[in-house]
Structure 1
Amino acid sequence: MLIGKRRLSDIDVALSGATLSDLFALMKPRVMALAVFTAFVGMVSAPGVLNPAVAMVAIAAIALGAGAAGALNMWYDMDIDAMMSRTSQRPLPSGRVTSEEALNFGLLTATVSVMLLEMLAGWLAASLLAFTIFFYVVVYTMWLKRSTPQNIVIGGAAGALPPVVGWAAAANGVGIESLVLFLIVFLWTPPHFWALALFKVGDYARAGIPMMPNVAGEASTRRQIFAYSLLLAPVGVLPWVLGFASAFYGFASAGLGAGFIWRAWRVLIASGVDKRGAKALFAYSILYLFAIFAALLIDTIATRALTS
């Protein structure tokens, strides 16, 4: 298999200076955890049924793919990661992993993840995983991130695809339900990352990354965070409205969405020097995504148990 101008068999995978802990950190484990969890919920929610052992290995393949995307992102962004306080201690800028090691590791894990998922779940799920990795690494990391303040908006499609990948792995298709899950994560991404950018605006300025607060100003960013939150909250309830989740999920998602809007409102009305609201929204946004997908997971399992 050719990768650029080199064959996979020719890649030197020696990682003499890197520990397993370093390689794990290279995979962005916190980001990977979110991607894997949403993919798992997509898989469980799908109408098809995978053998439990196959499902576990398929989730592992998706985790490898998410980790590969993180490793390749760190490889390409080593220069700007070194300039930012929250990323300066990552494996590459701190010198624990070399650029070549990160590239080799990312390429190999990406290849293995796609091949493994294709063997277990078919070409559709594998193709979606490959596209997710490509979109995150090439479209977002190499192009959008350094060129436009809409980097997070467009690039958010990569982070929103895992539930679609999980659904396709189980159902060998893409239903409207999986697209709704995609839309939830897609609309969640801008307020999540712009809240972070509001209290890390100096980091992004030093690195030359055109995040929204650095380009459009903090007041505009606060308004856009609130606007996206107003869109996200009702979309989060759609699984109930469209009939593939029960009232339990509907009430849970409505409450979580109201909490998101409330915190976004606090960000909107805060003064420019007060970053507490942005920090609170950023923390809550992580809880929101885990909780809304956990509610759907519980709802799906409970509904199937009651109807079986």
Structure 2
Amino acid sequence: MATTNSSLPRVSVISDFKEITKMRLSLSVVFSAIAGYLLGATTIEVSTLILLAFGGYFMVGASNIYNQIIERDLDALMSRTKNRPIPAGRISVNSALIMAVIFTILGIATLYIINPRTAMYGAISIFLYTSVYTPLKTKTPLSVFAGAIPGAIPFMLGWVAARNAFGIEPGTLFAIQFFWQFPHFWAIGWFLFDDYKKGGFYMLPTGKRDKGTATQTIMYTIWTVLISIIPVFGFTGDLKLSIVAAIIVFAIGLGMIYFALQLFVKRTELAAKHLILASVIYITLLQIVYVADKFIR
């Protein structure tokens, strides 16, 4: 009995750490950064991969902690977030702030070891997410545009970590993940519309679950897919894509477009949930196909 009781606090600490740093989101960001690095690297250095993974996690973790500190009172109003560590009282604001500052320092320092340019983009990401995107969420649907910028940095960040330079290649990777975030977050905003409303968040472009929002979701989905196959045409520098890989990416993209169309037709929470899943599958498979294509060619 004593052993069981003594293990409970540790389990709680681990689960709270996962929650306050949004571990699944942070790991997906690390995955994007590593994919970008593998695409840009001429020689793969394991030490750089490790630094990028830890630096990326610290960077995103810091952003998420700052976000939850700022939104703690609003999080308490929503069913989805009311049990987060800060609004639930398991972690104090001061403790969370100390953790966020430590993560910020560790993240920027770790990325700086790779190269200063990578650290700079990491710092920009934290600043935009915390100081621009988070405050705008309760004021305007344009917050999604602001949030799409730091959200698109990780894929690009990996390339910059590999090449210590910004150009057409990381710019293209940035554009892919930038446009992808609109259908992804609008689908989330649609699915969680009622809960977001309790916290005063209006994430949808028209502010409503209507045809206007669904139409814009379709448009941005199509743009995402078109941008994703641009490297096949050969004018994105060292970022290349074979015809076979482009066909695969396009086919996966058609699946995402299908679910965006389904949202327009049905306009239900279930249709939005399907689009969320389709968007996650799309960006994950796209990155895998891009990397695999580089090493198979």
Q: TM-score when scaled to structure 2?
A: 0.90
Unaligned runs of 5+ in 1: 1-15, 304-308
Residue in structure 2 matching 1:264, options 260, 266, 279? 260
Stretches of 4+ moved more than 4 A in 1?
A: none
Q: Determine whether 1:114 maps to 2:108.
A: yes
2:246 corresponds in structure 1 to 250
Is 2:133 the counterpart of 1:140?
yes
Q: Determine whether 1:155 maps to 2:147.
A: yes
RMSD of equivalent CA atoms: 1.9
Amino acid at match of 2:292: I
Q: Find the counterpart in structure 2 of residue 35 from structure 1.
A: 29
How many residue pairs were aligned?
Answer: 284
Correspondence 1:82 to 2:76: yes
State the secondary structure of the residue aligned to 1:183.
helix
Q: State the distance in 2 between where 1:214 and 1:95 align.
A: 35
Q: 1:72: how far off?
A: 1.1
Q: CA 1:213–1:201 in 2, change beyond 3 Å: closer, same or farther?
A: farther
Offset from partner CA, 1:114-135 (integer Å, 9 cap, x none):
012112x111011111111111
What letter corresponds to residue 125 of structure 1 in structure 2? Answer: T
Among 263, 274, 282, the residue aligned to 1:280: 274
In the other structure, the counterpart of 2:99 is 105
Instruction: Check if 1:124 corresponds to 2:122.
Output: no
Paired residues of 1:205 and 1:214 also in contact (CA < 8 A): no
Instruction: State TM-score, norm by structure 1.
Output: 0.87
* Letter in structure 1 aligned against 2:155: P
SS at match of 2:290: helix
Tell me, in whole angstroms, the C-alpha distance in 2 between the residues paired with 1:172 and 1:37: 19
- Structure 2 residues without counterparts, runs of 5 or longer: 1-9
Distance 1:203 1:153 in 2: 21
Query: How far does residue 79 in structure 1 lie from its aligned partner after superposition?
Result: 1.4
Cα contact 1:184–1:236 (8 A) shared by 2: yes
Is residue 2:199 matched to residue 1:203? no
What CA distance in whole angstroms lies between the structure 2 residues aligned with 1:129 and 1:180? 18
> What's the counterpart of residue 60 of structure 1?
54
- Asked whether the 8 Å contact 2:137–2:143 carries over to 1, the reply is yes
Deviates more, 1:222-231 or 1:44-53: 44-53
Shift of 1:50: 4.7
Q: Kindly, what percent of the aligned residue pairs are identical?
A: 29
Q: Does 1:20 align with 2:14?
A: yes
